[in-house]
Structure 1
């Protein structure tokens, strides 16, 4: 059956280099001068996650100079467009991630390059980051939000499913990363799905869904 033309379709705008504010976290355009010390500590310090770099095409970094050069390249990029994840109370950067594969003419955009310090992992902040980026993308006219990861990366696949992304399939022998084969699992959210997903995120992020010690009362999967 032939596809119907989109009514009044206009390409989505290129994402602006601007801060996104949430309840528990703030996304700031990556700035090595402002965020570099915090990110070095969070991502390479003694309490960092030793598995962090396993499925990324870069890192770990043995020298601070190499790390700073990597941050500077990311900060100058438009696609990927990088954000530092900042804890509002302390102002400390706890991780970074990006939009990438920004196809404005098709209304498609991806979230990736996720590098979190240990304190960010499996936290309310980590979930709110995805909500903020998804909300921003769909509010600006994007039709499709993508998530891709190494098929061996169980943590990333579980996260995609928890965040409401739908599995679309496996690209076999898609890449060679650090001398190893990567089969890539593809996930997406489309614009028609976002209103219901957004409502679930907002119910989950509400202050009354968390106990005094920060434990969730209802799971995101159940609320969305």
Structure 2
């Protein structure tokens, strides 16, 4: 009688993920610092960062919240984010001004399997497409792989959000597909584009970020000389 073929299985994971979750430590870069959101400290700067520079509310097009009609409304919303644990919210602080001008979070932590997502990312118009913006994402990714020991880092966005999809690929996330009719956001259908980065890819991607972030890669106005290359 012929021997029954063994069914294929995945490789053994050794060592297993450490099972760490975000502990709200500050994340320090050359041009930015990421601090746990504190409404009393960050609300005014965050509100000012978009209230005049984004009158049409473009920052909030693909997010499940915003824009706000008053500072008081925004401050109340931010107090809820301050108390949240998963998502864990951070404020983005520019070192040159000391002002908070954006936010993001670590979320959907699956510590036993070594999986986490970065999301709820928004940046004021003045922060977008700057070296500071790229350093922010680098610090978030580095924290996930180097401090938390994750195996898989996820990035998700509205499938219609072309800038976010382009950013994910620029930062080294691989596109994995579209989850159709995934969510209802502000009464509208959202198909979600899924991206991910794996721990085995991180050393190569990290080297690309570090090359790009060297001070000599920027002119006196902070403009890049060479593009980010993580492939």
TM-score (norm 1): 0.96
What does 1:134-145 align with in structure 2 at a 5 Å threshold? 134-139=141-146, 140-145=148-153
Retained in 2: the 8 A contact 1:11–1:106? no
Retained in 2: the 8 A contact 1:96–1:114? yes
Retained in 1: the 8 A contact 2:17–2:151? no
Q: Which residue number corresponds to residue 208 of structure 2? A: 200
Retained in 2: the 8 A contact 1:94–1:117? yes
Compute the RMSD of aligned alpha carbons: 1.2
Structure 1 residues 28-68: Cα deviation after superposition (integer angstroms, max 9, x where no partner) = 0101111111001113x111363111100011101222111
Count of residue pairs the alignment pairs up: 222
Q: Which residue number corresponds to residue 80 of structure 2? A: 73
Q: Which residue number corresponds to residue 48 of structure 1? A: 54
Retained in 1: the 8 A contact 2:17–2:111? no
Gaps of 5+ in 2: 1-7
Q: Which runs of 4+ in 1 moved over 3 A?
A: none
Larger-Rg structure: 2
Gaps of 5+ in 1: none
Q: Equivalent residue of 1:59, what SS?
A: coil
Q: Matched residues in 1 for 2:99 and 2:223: separation? A: 22
Work out which of the residue numbers 149, 154, 157 in structure 2 matches 1:149: 157
Q: Equivalent residue of 1:72, what SS?
A: helix
Is residue 5 of structure 2 the alignment partner of residue 5 of structure 1? no
Q: Equivalent residue of 2:134, what SS?
A: helix
Give the CA deviation at 1:89.
2.9
Q: Matched residues in 2 for 1:103 and 1:138: separation? A: 14
